[in-house]
Amino acid sequence: MSAILLVEDDVSFSEMLRRFLERHQHEVTLAYTLEDAKTKVKNSTFDLVFTDLRLPDGDGIALLNHIKTKDASVPVVLMTGYAEVSTAVKAMKDGAFDYISKPFNPEEVLQVVKNALNEKHQTKTPQDPTPSTPKNQSKAEAGFVTGISAASKVLYDHINLVAPTNMSVLISGESGTGKEVVAKAIHLKSSRKNKPFIAVDCGAIPKEIAASEFFGHKKGSFTGAINDKIGHFEAANGGTLFLDEVGNLTYENQIQLLRALQERRVKPIGSNDEIEVDIRLLTATNEDLLKAVEQGDFREDLYHRLNEFFIKVPNLQERRDDLILYADFFLENANQQLNKSIIGFSPEVLKIFQTYSWPGNLRELSNVIKRATLLTTGHVIQKEVLPHELSAAPIKEVTPPSFSAKTNEKELILKVLQEANNNKTQAAKLLNFSRKTLYNKLKEYDLE
């Protein structure tokens, strides 16, 4: 049985959540203020802390910092309102394990608790030779945002699995999903991370000079070759070569690429000498290469050479739980690039972000935030600076299954009345009701 500290000043809500957690075999201690929580942390050991972001004498961020100075392994989960999500995202950078927005549903609570306790167990396991990655490390060396959605977790599992190998990886995904970022993350997690990472847009190379771009040429080997040129294969020697939109290569270029991969040797145009190359090849496409193979537009042998391991990058619709994380990340970048100091987004903008379809994926989100940052004169991005296609879009209200004080309210009132020896004034205080509200509830539930 795990020990959970629940910090929430809404007495009725905390009682309801405590009973729910206890029914699922967790031991719950309640605290209603920041100082009360600090005292309980000092006197007891907890496996997990659930805290509201807003407390009567402080906030959950202060409690988070206090707990992390005492025991960094204790996961802290923040409970927030919708408008506070951007603040919670920043708290994750300070060490919070996760955040959960009110109202939330029971399954979501149980999943967050399970994930937090599993992570704590893994960080405490002495047999594990791999240092755990902090939950708040939202950006890897390549500007990689560590999302919390199920689709993102599958993506990171695949990256971590294949990165240490030397396998060729085919990365598929819609335009704007960040395929090059995924490729760079694989490179940075590999043994080649201190060697070159060369990215090539195959769609931007004219077929006439593709061989020169890939393999290099000698001075005077053709008209316009006024200097020796090192090709991409040689430039990436010892490191990683990333070919974006590989499906755009002509059939002749495909043959040249296949030969270079099979022999691991390249010959610059106009040279008699071959150069041995040691590269890891990563490729990306937003097309269905298998369909191109069936139609005869892409060589099957090259396809299998490139596709030793396949990674599908989810679109932004599939990783909607990560949207605020990405928005915060792009805002930081925009602030740096534009020398601005915007602190966040208005609740209305966050709601628009959550309901917009984002057909351009992360690239569109990044562009929208950069433009909005430039146009914003205050400290918070407002709806007025968003592009028309966002600001004019109707906001869809999505109401998840509610896990609020209304749940089992009758049962809760009976329990509190019993604890207060039927003193209705005391019971109203415990329930955070006015006396009149309590009497109305008693009448509503026929408890008079």
pLDDT of residue 117: 84
Cβ within 8 Å of residue 54, ≥6 positions away? 9, 60, 84
> Of how many residues is the chain composed?
448
User: CB of 379 within 8 A of CB of 342?
Assistant: yes
Which residue blocks in 356-434 are alpha helix, DSSP H?
361-375, 388-391, 409-419, 424-430
Region at 161 (left for phi over 0; alpha for psi -120 to 50; beta for the rest): alpha
Q: In CATH, what is the architecture of 150-312?
A: 3-Layer(aba) Sandwich (3.40)
**Residues contacting residue 209 through CB under 8 Å, at least 6 positions apart:** none
Query: What is residue 111's predicted lDDT score, i.e. its pLDDT?
Result: 81
Residue closest to 404 by CA, chosen among 17, 26, 50, 5:
17
**How much is the pLDDT for 53?**
85
Closest CA to 33 of 12, 51, 15: 51
Question: What is the CATH number that goes with domain 2-124?
Answer: 3.40.50.2300
Q: Do 2-124 and 150-312 show the same overall fold?
A: yes
The gap from C-alpha 61 to its chain's centroid, in whole angstroms, comes to 20
Structure confidence at residue 401 (pLDDT): 42
Write out the chain's pLDDT in tens, 448 residues.
Answer: 789 999 988 877 788 888 888 888 899 999 989 999 999 999 999 999 999 888 888 888 889 889 988 888 899 988 876 545 566 666 776 678 877 777 666 777 888 888 888 876 665 544 433 333 333 333 333 456 777 788 888 999 999 999 999 999 999 999 999 999 999 999 999 999 999 999 999 888 887 888 888 998 888 787 777 788 888 999 999 999 999 999 999 988 999 999 999 999 998 888 888 899 999 999 999 989 999 999 999 999 999 999 999 999 999 999 888 888 888 889 988 998 999 988 888 888 988 998 899 999 999 999 999 999 999 998 889 999 999 888 776 655 544 444 444 445 677 777 777 766 777 776 776 665 666 677 777 877 777 6
Domain ranges of the chain: 2-124, 150-312, 409-444
Q: Which amino acid would we find at residue 195?
A: K
Q: What is the pTM of this model?
A: 0.60
Q: What pLDDT shows up at residue 48? A: 93
